[in-house]
Structure 1
Amino acid sequence: MTLLVHGVVADHSVDTSAMGDIADVYTVSAGGIAALVSDVRDEPVLPSRAMMLRHANVLEAAAATTTVVPMRFGVAVPSRDALRDEFLHPAQAQLTEALSYLRGRSEWRLRGDYVENEAIRAVLANDRRAASLRGRRDTDAKMELGERIVQGVSGLRDRDTPEVLGHLREHVVELVSRDVTEPLACLDASLLVDDEGQEALERHVEQLAERFAPRLQLRLVGPLPPYSFAAMETTR
């Protein structure tokens, strides 16, 4: 039997029997910290949708009552002794520090996407050449127009992303911004926020959403376990 490690909490800080419909989760303790684990039969643990959803559910249930340091999905060890000897004891100081840093804080996810028609309108308003190509039916004109629109949206992204995130930095403890790949995506960021600052953050994002509408839609999701700020793997 293999142990799947979900996260680490302070010892005795979570009652696994009260974690709703998440069965068979228990803790393995060492030196004042404890790993949230469940038993699986196979190793490696394959990232099925059901398994990854269960992993997230365990972390969210724990984060609702205590501070948790998430593990990345798929961290597995062969036994309780191996978990203590190869991970909890060697990483005790680091994990204890992480728990202290994350206490009273949670992650929020901010996503920004352009509304297609509004983004194109903004590009055409700032690119006379692109505007002149609109409506032409020849292949070369269509191709050039498409290229200029893609470049124009990229320019909007380069301008809007730092402006949005710049307005949020004073409301967060830490911020992680990811590269986006979808053509109409503007930004994808994770924010580490003090619990007492959550309402202020939500209000500020609402104000930014009004400011950038209708070209850009902002969506804020949270609170979440601090996946982007503390996710760790065993050294095994």
Structure 2
Amino acid sequence: MLLVHGVVRESDAPAVGRVPPGRLQQPRAVVAGPLAAVVSDAPDGDLVGDDAVAHLDLLVALVVTVPVLPLPFGTVAPDEDAVRAEVLEPSADELAQRLAAVADLVELRLDLDFDTDASVAAVSRDDPDIARLAARARVPGASLADRMAVGEAVAARVADLQAELAATWTQELSGVAEQSRELHVDDQVSRTAYLVRRDRLDDADATVARLREAAAGSASVEYVGPMPVYSFLDDVVVGSQPAPRSRWGW
């Protein structure tokens, strides 16, 4: 049984053999015409979290130098003939067009992990409405409703402040990127994916360095990439009509 990790151009197949295997059995390329599938031998037991990490690490190592269409973790085929007959050959034209569409693009991801205490302190210091509510709640005999009103107002203002800061800090990076997409937002963490041209990676790196300086003391910054364009595959235009999604995850 083979794990099928992604698809590259046949001309880029040699790059697969140069990737350190890590947890995977040595990755290799299965070629069919102008395309090649990136495969490795599946482990004997069930797939676990470490296997998912190894799958991603392999694709990230490849996309540094060659275009890659990622497949969902856990995509399997019984053997190399099945990879050719079921994965590559039926969708060869579409795959080739999608690879051409993403050839000059990669994905970057940015996490902003806000320091809640710092946000609350900033709101309490700078917002006069919050200050008035807090003063009312401190009066002897203040009701539970007064105290709850302070908490609700602080939580709402903190959310607004963090959204404002995130928009300000990431404005320059959004200008570098072709597209951006919000992946996750909660009370503390904001995660965004950016679609960036390969020739603008240095610009993106420099922009994030400035963002880190601006966010110091208010939020920590995690910056990951380049990665395959996971978050933007549905936006890749192939021909004049949207292509149907196949059972392989496109």
Classify the TM-score, shorter chain: 0.7 to 0.9
The answer to whether the aligner puts 1:7 opposite 2:6 as a matched pair is yes
Offset of 1:172 from its aligned partner? 1.0
The answer to whether the aligner puts 1:206 opposite 2:218 as a matched pair is no
Structure 2 CA distance for aligned equivalents of residues 157 and 132 of structure 1:
24
SS at match of 2:12: coil
The gaps in structure 2 that reach 5 residues or longer are: 235-244
Structure 1 CA distance for aligned equivalents of residues 85 and 131 of structure 2:
66
Q: CA separation of 1:87/1:136 partners in 2, compared to 1, >3 Å: closer, same or farther?
A: farther
The aligned counterpart of 2:64 is: 64
SS at match of 2:247: coil
Q: Map Cα deviations across residues 47-91 of structure 1 (whole Å, 9 max, x no partner).
A: x12211221222123223322111121112233333333332232
Q: Structure 1 stretch 82-91 or stretch 118-127: which is displaced more?
A: 82-91
The aligned counterpart of 2:239 is: none
The answer to whether the aligner puts 1:180 opposite 2:185 as a matched pair is yes
Are the aligned partners of 2:60 and 2:225 in contact in 1 as well (CA < 8 Å)? Answer: no
Offset of 1:135 from its aligned partner? 6.2
TM-score calculated relative to the size of structure 1: 0.81
Q: Which amino acid aligns with 1:73?
A: F
Q: CA separation of 1:50/1:208 partners in 2, compared to 1, >3 Å: closer, same or farther?
A: closer
The answer to whether the aligner puts 1:97 opposite 2:97 as a matched pair is yes
Structure 1 CA distance for aligned equivalents of residues 33 and 138 of structure 2:
70
Q: Which amino acid aligns with 1:65?
A: T
Structure 1 CA distance for aligned equivalents of residues 44 and 21 of structure 2:
22
The aligned counterpart of 1:114 is: 114
Structure 1 CA distance for aligned equivalents of residues 169 and 90 of structure 2:
40
Q: CA separation of 1:17/1:31 partners in 2, compared to 1, >3 Å: closer, same or farther?
A: closer
SS at match of 2:192: strand
SS at match of 2:93: helix
SS at match of 2:13: coil
Q: Which amino acid aligns with 2:120?
A: I
The aligned counterpart of 1:73 is: 73
Q: Which amino acid aligns with 1:70?
A: P
Structure 2 CA distance for aligned equivalents of residues 109 and 212 of structure 1:
16
Offset of 1:99 from its aligned partner? 1.6
The gaps in structure 1 that reach 5 residues or longer are: none
The aligned counterpart of 2:83 is: 83
Q: CA separation of 1:35/1:144 partners in 2, compared to 1, >3 Å: closer, same or farther?
A: same
The number of residue pairs the alignment matches comes to: 231
Match of 2:26 among 21, 24, 27: 24
Are the aligned partners of 1:75 and 1:234 in contact in 2 as well (CA < 8 Å)? Answer: no
Structure 2 CA distance for aligned equivalents of residues 201 and 228 of structure 1:
18
